[in-house]
Amino acid sequence: MAHWLYKSEPSVWSWDHQVAEGAKGTFWNGVRNHVAKQNLMAMKKGERGFFYHSNEGKAVVGIVEVIKEYYPDHTDETGKFGMVDIKAVKPLKRPVTLDEIKAEPKLKDMILVNNSRLSVQPVTDTEWGLICKMGGL
């Protein structure tokens, strides 16, 4: 099963917002990038991903799960982009910061490190396991 990483600025949409939505979850929209779109389209219901706070915090703070697969984003007037629904699963026992990720040689190839601007990224099984461990899970 594939894993993912969702990036969000806490001032716009934070982990706390996501948790407040509970089991019903919420849509993940606003993607206007074709690479991110490809990733969204590849997601399957039940797949999990990290929730990352960019700018403020700069850390992986929790785990989310896809509850609805790719569908059109009607707020996108060009009609090119879509979104998925995700729900909060559980927080990390402690956040894993970008500094820690950069300090770990096994994580140096993460897209988060090399292409920080991509808002939805795939995460390998190795990276997934390691960050879960670093986060105390």
Interface contacts to DNA, rule CB under 7 A = 7, 9, 32-35, 54-55, 58, 98-99, 102, 112, 114-117, 119
Sequence-ordered list of residues with C-beta below 8 angstroms from that of 60, at least 6 positions apart, any chain:
5, 50, 51, 52, 92, 95, 96, 101, 131, 135
Min. distance of Cβ 12 from DNA in angstroms?
Answer: 9
Q: How far is the CB of 120 from DNA (least distance, A)?
A: 9
Task: Specify the residue, 22 or 103, whose C-beta has the smaller distance to DNA.
Answer: 103
* CB of 5 or CB of 88, closer to DNA: 5
Q: How far is the CB of 23 from DNA (least distance, A)?
A: 27
**Nearer CB in complex with DNA: 32/44:** 32
CB 25 within 8 A of CB 71: no
Closest CA to 7 of 42, 58, 74: 58
Shortest separation between residue 54's beta carbon and DNA, angstroms: 4
